[in-house]
Chains A and B, each alone.
Chain A
């Protein structure tokens, strides 16, 4: 029997529900669970008559994604699944009912087969309750499929910008059509690339979920430990950041004078020191090509339990997306404006 990884938990099977109890205890001003549906986390302040309801969601283990982005000006609700597993349709449906205020509901989540099936089933059930639901999948991970198959890509840390833009559009009382258009545009303008240095372990198994050599990194690894596009020797911070940015620039095609927002995200255990060293390089590279940084976020925004590694996301701004990004929001784990 291999040695179990160390975790501060009580019971692996209860980890998600006990975490939710702790989150609700910490953020009673922002969050509540839906009546009878503890895995449906609803914003205290947000849903209101005439506003499109924004429901996000997915597996646990990525905190503060998803429920940390529930609050006024961002998402109205998050449906919470087991660790790395989509929530089933019922809690998603309860979220939709709780935030439906007559203007329709938008489902937004990362593009994974399980999430698509469960959210689609929930959307069908919501339609039977006369709630109009539209869906926008996030597909920001440039490593997960070639450029001409963007619709096959995974949604990863760039969710942060895409949800932010859509949430702002909802908060500004735009129509469901307009919110959906802005959400799709935000997704098209968001590019993420990640690298993993060491594995994470699920609370139920407490075994590393992949093996990697002491001097290796996995380029393009997914946020559930899915293998990436290549295994390489661990490089310097500058070399790793350059490799990520080269791939992002090739797709984003930035022009001198363009504006971006930057997210340098830890996959869990990589410390701020290393993230800021990477961010230094991001700034150098953007300065070199004359691209202006409108805003930066550096820290834990979309994690993979205790995985070591980081991702860089660039959000390619235009006037509309910048307005949405700058729009104030007040969530349990994130504030802006």
Chain B
């Protein structure tokens, strides 16, 4: 399929709806090992993105500019940890498709991988540290592998979503090494990382809107 800026806007709108619906669960997950505001921050961020994109002239906007608008609006609405992490993801995603007016399937998987790498770089986190990287990195790798195997974008995103779900679930058995929960040591065991849980929701919404 060919993805244009209207599709990308719809994707962000879908994410905003999914996160809003998931807000309370994310706050509760964060309440167990953090400060109980992760759902609020994510909803605030994606609602701000939705509002900012609504004022764009999509016909005159390239994907990179749309993603930069998303980054700036998310960052300024949120701050916190998720602000810089997702803002960097969107900026890197935008940079990966710079100059393109529309995106082919392979362009989008490249964008998706760049988002994951951006989160990893900004947070200086590695897999296994009980963060959103534990969902994003396996998702990006699964999407890339499916893309190399000439799967459709829908199949790539299906693989990404499944990998993100497995990755988030695996954080249950990890001891947090980054972020606020890292001060808990072994007391973080047995709980899913809220950032990884929200990543699954985001990736699931991306899949839903582009499949």
Given contact pairs A118-B80, A121-B84, enumerate 13 new A-B contacts (beta carbons under 8 Å).
A82-B40, A84-B35, A112-B81, A114-B80, A114-B84, A117-B84, A117-B85, A117-B122, A118-B79, A152-B182, A153-B183, A154-B183, A204-B40
Cβ-defined contact, A226 with B123, below 8 A: no
- Whether a CB of chain B sits under 8 angstroms from the CB of A224 is yes
Q: Which of A26-34, A47-55, A87-95 contacts B (4 or more CB under 8 A)?
A: A87-95
Q: With contacts A118-B83, A210-B36, A227-B33 known, is A82 near B184, CB below 8 A?
A: no
A62 to chain B, nearest CB (A): 12
Q: Which residue in A81, A152, A204, A209 is a CB contact (below 8 Å) of B183?
A: A152
Q: With contacts A86-B83, A90-B76 known, is A226 near B34, CB below 8 A?
A: yes
B132 to chain A, nearest CB (A): 12
B72 to chain A, nearest CB (A): 9
CB within 8 Å: A-B pair count:
104
Q: Which residues of A contact B27 (CB under 8 A)?
A: 205, 207
Q: Which residues of B contact A154 (CB under 8 A)?
A: 183
In whole angstroms, how far apart are the Cα atoms of A226 and B34 in the complex?
5
- Per-residue A-contact encoding for B147-183, CB less than 8 Å = 1, 0 else: 0000000000000000000000000000000111111
- Per-residue B-contact encoding for A141-159, CB less than 8 Å = 1, 0 else: 0001100000011100000
- Whether a CB of chain A sits under 8 angstroms from the CB of B187 is yes
Where chain A touches its partner, the secondary structure class is loop
- Quick one: which of B32, B37, B44 has the most chain A CB within 10 A? B37
- Whether a CB of chain B sits under 8 angstroms from the CB of A225 is yes
Q: With contacts A86-B83, A113-B178 known, is A209 near B31, CB below 8 A?
A: yes
In whole angstroms, how far apart are the Cα atoms of A205 and B187 in the complex?
24
13 cross-chain CB contacts under 8 A = A13-B44, A85-B80, A88-B75, A89-B75, A114-B79, A114-B80, A114-B81, A117-B122, A118-B79, A209-B35, A224-B34, A225-B35, A227-B187
In whole angstroms, how far apart are the Cα atoms of A112 and B37 in the complex?
14
B44 to chain A, nearest CB (A): 7
Least CB separation from A80: chain B residue: B79
- For window 165-211 of B, CB contacts with A under 8 Å fall at 178-184, 187
In whole angstroms, how far apart are the Cα atoms of A224 and B32 in the complex?
12
A57 to chain B, nearest CB (A): 10
Q: Which residues of B contact A226 (CB under 8 A)?
A: 33-35, 180-181, 183-184
- Per-residue B-contact encoding for A185-217, CB less than 8 Å = 1, 0 else: 000000000000000001011010110000000
B interface residues, tally (CB under 8 Å): 33
- Whether a CB of chain A sits under 8 angstroms from the CB of B41 is yes
Q: With contacts A117-B123, A227-B184 known, is A87 near B31, CB below 8 A?
A: no
A217 to chain B, nearest CB (A): 16
A86 to chain B, nearest CB (A): 4
- Whether a CB of chain B sits under 8 angstroms from the CB of A309 is no
- Whether a CB of chain B sits under 8 angstroms from the CB of A78 is no
- Whether a CB of chain A sits under 8 angstroms from the CB of B78 is yes
In whole angstroms, how far apart are the Cα atoms of A285 and B79 in the complex?
42
Q: Which residue in A87, A144, A205, A209 is a CB contact (below 8 Å) of B79?
A: A87
Least CB separation from B40: chain A residue: A204
Q: Which residues of A contact B32 (CB under 8 A)?
A: 210
B143 to chain A, nearest CB (A): 25
- Per-residue B-contact encoding for A282-307, CB less than 8 Å = 1, 0 else: 00000000000000000000000000
Least CB separation from B84: chain A residue: A117
Cβ-defined contact, B79 with A82, below 8 A: yes
Q: Which residues of B contact A87 (CB under 8 A)?
A: 79
Cβ-defined contact, A82 with B183, below 8 A: no
In whole angstroms, how far apart are the Cα atoms of A87 and B41 in the complex?
12
B8 to chain A, nearest CB (A): 23
In whole angstroms, how far apart are the Cα atoms of A13 and B41 in the complex?
11
Q: With contacts A152-B183, A226-B184 known, is A81 near B36, CB below 8 A?
A: no
